[in-house]
Structure 1
Amino acid sequence: MKPVAISMVLDWLRAEGLLQDVAPQAVLRVAPSTVITGFASVDLAGPGDASFWVGDTVKNETNANGFASSLLDSVRTGLLFVPQGLMPAEKVAVASGKEFAPGVGCIVPVENPYHAMVCFLEKFADSFAGGECAGDVTSGSFVGSGCAGDVAKSARVHASAVVEGRVGENAFVGPGCVVMRGATLGAGCVLEANVTIYPNVVVGEDCVFQAGAVIGSRGFGFYEYEGRRRPVPHLAGVRIGRGCSFGANTVVAAGFLSPTTIGDNCHFDSFVQIAHNCRLGNNIFMASQSGLAGSVTVEEDVELAGGAQVANHLTLGKGARIAAKAGVTKSIPAGLTVSGFPAEEITVWRRSMVRLRQMGQK
């Protein structure tokens, strides 16, 4: 990754008109030694990361909003975009008797923190994604063009596959597969045919991907700025644990600032959709045509039957069961089984269906 000095970021912000030096405190704090080496959502960001905060508001598709100001004392990010006029530093000091977000290296008020973060990614993200070629190919069956990947000697790669990332020991990359630069495929993984692994995807050991699976593609996210909708860059990739399986034509979208994550021993049928910023625990099972909208949290041992759909920013508690074709519009407590649309506890739904049939027969 190519480090970016904070002075370079501030110069770029001024040149783009995103930082207006019209007030004495245009920048609340600048730590000159700050170097930005990555990005993450505000709750996960570290000292070298850029992030943003929009104030005490509800979450949206970024999964980075809704972070209460009272929690900013724990933030340790290097660069934080905040709303202009939110709370000047001197007012914060008077109101609380302490420094605003003391662990943040550089606090930059802007008109629209979300938009500033997107512009930052569009300008500097190439410095964070992928890196240079990892090394020469050691598998004799590799055929590709351009940047060659790092393929373990025991791995098998079909002649029609293109590998620019890393492939671990005893892995198999089948015909027509693509492992892009910046992707890592763990030992013992199997890509059956026409599987695409995008940059910044890290797959653990012994995972299986059936034909047509796509991992790390851009999420379906947009935001409105100056009267039009603009696409959100999803560059944080995907992290997958060990022993997972992905059915034919299943899609896992990349995260915005923090990766979409999947735990160990998760299994997905064909045509499953896992949207950007979702966080899945261990032992998740999703049957064919089920899907998760953006920023859904799925705790361990959850099962979704065929065609079940979950709206964004919800939580499915540990051991929850979602019946076939259910539409989940609110978070589900641990251990509960739900059905119908909108989804409700399954015995309640069954009684409702009986009553509806009885009414229809009158």
Structure 2
Amino acid sequence: MMRPVTLAEVLSFIDSLEGSGYAQVASAQSLDFTLNGFAPIASAGEYDVSFWTGDSSVETGLFGNAGGVTAAMFELVHAGLLFVPKAFAASVEGGATKAFPNVKFVCGVENPYHAMVQFLEHFATTVSQSKPHIPASAKVHPSAVVEGCLGENVVIGPGCVVMADSEIGDGSVLEANVTIYSNVKVGRECVFQAGSVVGSRGYGFYMYAGERRMVPHLAGVVIGDGCSFGANSVVAAGFISPTKIGNHCHFDSFVQIAHNCCLGDNIMMASQSGLAGSVTVGDNVELAGGAQSAGHLTIGSGAKVAAKAGITKNIPENAVYAGFPAEDIAVWRRSVVRLRQMGKK
């Protein structure tokens, strides 16, 4: 969330940053129009702030995670304010308005990602003024802290924390010592076992001016209906789009779902399995115990991943993968047999 700000306020702030020196590369009719949100470039609206890294060879931004779109799709981009590289702005004949005709104001900066982070840290950290909502049908343990909104027949166990600007759907249960951060929306009939954490800041860093800096993850988490989370499982918040989990997904203990992941319906993840940042998972996927995925990958619908597998590339739909690096399980089995035969010689 963020407080509404005028374009003039944001540009004044960006201009004040040491070494920033923004370049106005597209004119707006007025600098007084209001910006009230932020989003990835592919889903930004006319009053959102977004960024483009300058890489027109990738399409990852179309999936809501990164800052890239292909040049052929520039005309589909809508935003109130878009940070782009200065070098790109200078290279476009007729100005960046020609490249992004549906963006109200294009702002050239040295590092668009850094500018976006600075914007978020300055304008998107407003303390919530919302009040908690606890219906009479909810059961809240005296030791729990509830600052968010609860649905009907919700159960909040001992030591739980539900922060402001979070929502827990009807009939959901937080068993004990569960933490639900701000900007988390939980659907109906979900169950969180002891120690689960949802909406914490993701493990994201970037390099700027020779320093490793933390990425703010302010977009929260959205969880569908009928999901369950095992003890000490963690779901991290998204950067500028929420981490998403569909309906009827079930996660064992010590499962990790990192920032910006997007999961479909009916997903099963056994204990100690995990997804790195920005992984897209289709419906009906199963990960066995200890299976792990690198970031920015896609696991197709119906795929199954064997225990302890290490996923380093996209997995097709309905495939069964095993090993490290993970590969088709039939190939993996033949490889294991061959290695054993070689070892006995």
Shorter-chain TM range is over 0.9
- Alpha-carbon RMSD across the aligned residues, in angstroms, is 1.8
Residue identity over aligned pairs, in percent, reads 58
State the SS of the aligned residue for 2:337.
helix
Are the equivalent residues in 2 in contact too, given 1:34–1:105 (CA < 8 A)?
A: no
Q: Classify 1:50/1:18 alpha carbon distance in 2 versus 1 (closer, same or farther; 3 Å).
A: farther
Question: Which segment drifts farther, 219-228 or 25-34?
Answer: 25-34
Deviation at 1:131, TM superposition (A): 2.9
1:285 paired residue number: 268
1:281-304 Cα shifts (integer Å, max 9, x gaps): 011100000000000000101000
Conservation of the 8 A alpha-carbon contact between 1:19 and 1:109:
no
- CA apart distance, 1:246: 0.4
The alignment status of 1:203 with 2:201, answered yes or no, reads no
| Counterpart check, 1:194 vs 2:177 | yes
Match of 2:21 in 1: 20
Task: Sort the Cα spacing of 1:92 and 1:326 in 2 relative to 1 into closer, same or farther, 3 A.
Answer: farther
Q: Deviations over 1:171-203 (max 9, x none)?
A: 000000000011111111100000000000011
Residues 18/242 of structure 1: CA separation in 2 closer, same or farther (3 Å cut)? farther
- Specify whether residues 18 and 166 from structure 1 end up closer, same or farther in structure 2 by C-alpha distance, changes over 3 A only: farther
> Which residue identity does 1:132 align to in structure 2?
Q
Paired residue for 2:34?
A: 35
Deviation at 1:87, TM superposition (A): 3.5
Tell me the matched-pair count.
339
- What stretches of structure 1 move > 6 A for 4+ residues in a row? none
Superposed displacement of residue 19, structure 1:
4.7
For the Cα contact (< 8 Å) 1:164–1:181, is it kept in 2?
yes
Q: 1:72 matched to which residue of 2? A: 74
> Within 2, Cα distance between the matches of 1:83 and 1:93?
13
- The answer to whether the Cα contact below 8 Å between 2:89 and 2:108 also exists between their aligned partners in 1 is no
* Alpha-carbon distance change, 158 to 28 in structure 1, aligned in 2, over 3 angstroms: same
- Superimposed CA distance per residue, residues 255-300 of structure 1 (whole angstroms, 9 cap, x where no aligned partner): 0010000000010000000000000001110000000000000010
Inter-partner Cα distance in structure 2 for 1:357 and 1:247: 37
Please give the residue correspondences for 1:220-299 in structure 2 after superposition, counting only pairs within 5 Å. 220-299=203-282
Residues 26-58 of structure 1 show CA distances to partners (whole Å, capped at 9, x for unaligned) of 332334243111111111211121110012255
CA distance in 2, matches of 1:325, 1:159: 41
Residues 211 and 249, structure 1, Cα contact 8 Å, conserved in 2:
yes
Q: Give the whole-Å Cα distance in 2 for the aligned partners of 1:340 and 1:270.
A: 22
Question: What code does the residue aligned with 2:337 have?
Answer: V
Indicate the residue corresponding to 1:138 in structure 2. none
Partner of 2:300: 317
Contact 2:141-2:156 at 8 Å conserved across structures: yes
Residues 1:121 and 2:120 are matched in the alignment: yes
2:52 is aligned to: 53
Length-normalised TM-score, structure 1: 0.90
State how far apart, in whole Å, the 2-side matches of 1:100 and 1:220 are: 33
2:185 alignment partner AA: V
Q: What is aligned with 1:143?
A: none
Could you tell me which residue of structure 2 aligns to residue 172 of structure 1? Answer: 155
CA distance in 1, matches of 2:25, 2:142: 54
Residue 35 of structure 2 corresponds to residue 11 of structure 1: no
Q: Classify the secondary structure of the residue corresponding to 1:105.
A: strand
- SS, match of residue 121 in structure 1: helix
Asked if the contact 2:92–2:99 (Cα under 8 Å) also holds between the matched residues in 1, the reply is: no
Deviation of 1:15 after TM superposition, in Å, equals: 1.7
**What's the offset of the Cα at 1:18?**
5.7
Query: What's the CA shift for 1:76?
Result: 1.1
* Equivalent AA in structure 2 for residue 115 of structure 1: H
Alignment TM-score, normalising by the size of structure 2: 0.94
User: What residue ranges of structure 1 are gaps of 5+ in the alignment?
Assistant: 135-148
CA shift in 2, pair 1:266/1:123, >3 Å: same
Match of 1:133, as an amino acid? S
Contact 1:28 1:109 in 2 (8 A): no
- Cα drift, residue 89 of structure 1: 8.0
Asked whether the equivalents of residues 41 and 68 of structure 2 are also in contact (C-alpha less than 8 Å), the reply is: no
Post-superposition CA distance 1:122-169 (Å, at most 9, x none): 100124xx63122xxxxxxxxxxxxxx211111010000000011111
CA displacement, residues 300-333 of structure 1 (integer Å, 9 cap, x when unaligned): 0100000000110000001000000000000000
8 A contact 1:89–1:99 mirrored in 2: no
SS of structure 1 residue aligned to 2:108: strand
Within 2, Cα distance between the matches of 1:103 and 1:19? 25
CA distance in 1, matches of 2:19, 2:35: 18
CA contact (8 A) 1:43 1:64 kept: no
1:70 CA drift (Å) = 1.9
